[in-house]
Homo-oligomer: A and B are copies of this chain.
Amino acid sequence: MRANFSIAEENYIKSIYHLQQATGEVNTNALANHLNTKAASVTDMLKKLQAKNLLNYLPYKGFKLSREGNKAAVMIIRRHRLWEFFLVDKLHFNWDEIHEVAEELEHIRSKKLIDKLDEFLGYPKFDPHGDPIPDSNGKIDELKQLPLANLPVNKQAIITSVLNQSNELLAFLSSRNIAIGTVLEIKDKLPFDNSVEIKFKNKQSINISEQVAKAIQVNPL
């Protein structure tokens, strides 16, 4: 059966998914708050999602996404994150400007569009915030993101995001060819200033200050 949900339904599905991920538990009020709406509206929609088998919902008891609802959520998130990647990588948006626009783009439901966009972008694994992008089958690289400063020595990792978005830092990183997706490992941690000696796959090594190493988020491979 062809999945085809309204924009409102998709926003609920996505919010439930995120709240489940973040807190394990979701309740009506939390969801209403997250969606900037009222609890009564949430109840109405829960019943609708239940009727569509996207949700396991027992009045007053609680609710969570069904297997099918989960699948739908993952595909919405795939669309959102691919568009975010596009906006930053191709259109050169800043990281703080993309969310709103991606929020609209994510609702364009053409499987072909998204798969072709994915191909065009080079099958990126992480969006500009470092969150993993589900593949076309809905598989997600589970991410255990940590600051580069906390990465064990000699453990390979991939850069997934940078917390500090200052132009100075971004310019510094780009001058060193450090970007999201760069693979590196720490060869040494220098105790007197907490700077780290990192080595790229091309064997080149450079030294990074503690502040920078804390801002760079990585995902161990």
Using CB atoms and an 8 Å cutoff, list the residues of chain A in contact with chain B: 87, 90-93, 97, 100-101, 104-105, 108, 110, 112-113, 116-117, 119-120
* A76 to B72 alpha-carbon distance, docked (Å): 30
Q: Are B100 and A116 in contact (CB under 8 A)?
A: no
Q: Are B120 and A101 in contact (CB under 8 A)?
A: no
Residue among A104, A108, A113, A120 with max Cβ neighbours from chain B (10 Å): A113
Q: Are B100 and A104 in contact (CB under 8 A)?
A: no
The minimal Cβ–Cβ distance linking A187 to chain B, given in whole angstroms, is: 39
Q: Are B116 and A110 in contact (CB under 8 A)?
A: no
On chain B, the residues within 8 Å of A100 by CB distance are 110
Q: Are B108 and A104 in contact (CB under 8 A)?
A: yes
Q: Are B112 and A97 in contact (CB under 8 A)?
A: yes
On chain B, the residues within 8 Å of A110 by CB distance are 100-101, 104
Number of copies: 2
- Those 5 A-B pairs whose CB atoms lie nearest each other, nearest first: A91-B116, A104-B108, A101-B110, A101-B113, A91-B120
Find the B residue at minimum CB distance from A104: B108
* A91 to B90 alpha-carbon distance, docked (Å): 13
On chain B, the residues within 8 Å of A87 by CB distance are 113
The minimal Cβ–Cβ distance linking A121 to chain B, given in whole angstroms, is: 10
* A104 to B100 alpha-carbon distance, docked (Å): 17
On chain B, the residues within 8 Å of A92 by CB distance are 116
* A116 to B93 alpha-carbon distance, docked (Å): 8
The minimal Cβ–Cβ distance linking A36 to chain B, given in whole angstroms, is: 18
Give me 20 A-to-B residue pairs in the complex whose CB atoms sit less than 8 angstroms apart, sorted by A's number: A87-B113, A90-B120, A91-B113, A91-B116, A91-B117, A91-B119, A91-B120, A92-B116, A93-B112, A93-B116, A97-B112, A100-B110, A101-B108, A101-B110, A101-B112, A101-B113, A104-B108, A104-B110, A105-B105, A105-B108
* A117 to B97 alpha-carbon distance, docked (Å): 15
On chain B, the residues within 8 Å of A112 by CB distance are 93, 97, 101
* A112 to B113 alpha-carbon distance, docked (Å): 21
* A91 to B110 alpha-carbon distance, docked (Å): 13
* A97 to B111 alpha-carbon distance, docked (Å): 13
**Interface contacts beyond A91-B116, A105-B108: sample of 12 additional A-B pairs, CB < 8 Å, sorted by A:** A87-B113, A90-B120, A91-B120, A92-B116, A93-B116, A100-B110, A101-B108, A101-B110, A101-B112, A104-B108, A104-B110, A105-B105
